[in-house]
Structure 1
Amino acid sequence: MKEIRKESVLYMYQSLDELPLAVSNLMERAVEARKRAYAPYSKFQVGAALLLDNNEVITGNNQENASYPSGLCAERTAIYYAGSQYPNAKILKMAISAGASEKQTTKPIPPCGACRQSIAEYELKQESPIEIFFMGETGEIAKSNSLSNLLPFVFDKSEL
């Protein structure tokens, strides 16, 4: 038997004011998208904003459905729209803001497992990492230089 270790590295910003201006603006777009989320069941709204290499900004938010598996997360809504409308563009950065309507969310909320897998697919497709910034409604913002920090053992097309 041998031991395998994978290390994840995240960077923490104390507030939006610490972020570079371009990232702060992207996060504001994610916050705006979060406020438009359709989440009548979970009451947990998520917004995502993507910066593409063609300078387009794509936003998405979670869209719930009474048949729970039929809904879609904010990150995948944005990624799939970007892939549909700009198939040759690379995603450079992703900003995510999440919050519950029942209480204030003050810690960074990372993408769920399904979204991590989808982000991994696009990183592999474009052969370059996506910087991911995530936060609650307020408070600290976490930054990952690549999805590999959030999903160290990725399942990809090489397994098929």
Structure 2
Amino acid sequence: MREIKIDTSFIEYDSLEEMETDVQDLMLRAVEIRKKAYAPYSKFRVGAAILLENNKIILGSNQENAAYPSGLCAERTAVFSAGALFPDVAIKAIAISASSDIKCTDQPIPPCGACRQSLFEYEVKQSQPIAMYCMGSEGKVIKTASITNILPFYFDKNVL
């Protein structure tokens, strides 16, 4: 028997204003698309903005459905759109902003498990890391240099 230790690190910014201008712009795009989320059931709105290597920005917001499993998260809406529109262009970064109509979301909110797996799949496909930035509706922002940092014990095509 042996212990396996997995280390990861994140960068925490106290606010959006501490970040580089291009990342601020990407996050502001996530904030704007978040406002267009269709979230009549959860009242939880998420926006995602993906920056591609060709400098195109792909947006996505969560889209709920009365048949709950039929909805789709913002991160997957954006990454699947990027994959459909630009299948051979690498993803450089994703910015995610989440808010609630019910309570304040002033801490960074990471993607759900399904979104982590979907983002990871694209990172594996392109053989290079995807930087990820997460925030609530305001306040601190967390950056990670790779999706593997939020999904360290992962499932990928190599086990199939």
The separation in 2 between residues aligned to 1:148 and 1:124, in whole angstroms, is 10
Distance 1:68 1:19 in 2: 36
C-alpha deviation, 1:10, in angstroms: 0.6
1:79-98 matches, within 5 Å, as 79-98=79-98
Q: Does 1:133 align with 2:133?
A: yes
C-alpha deviations, 1:24-69, integer Å up to 9, x for none?
Answer: 0000000001000000000000000000001100000000000000
Q: How does 1:6-85 map to 2 (within 5 A)?
A: 6-85=6-85
Per-residue deviation, 1:103: 1.0
Match of 2:101 in 1: 101
Deviation at 1:100, TM superposition (A): 0.6
Structure 2 residue runs of 5 or longer lacking an equivalent are: none
Partner of 1:105, secondary structure, is: coil
The sequence identity of aligned pairs, in percent, is 57
TM-score (norm 2): 0.99
Q: Distance in 2 between matches of 1:88 and 1:148?
A: 21
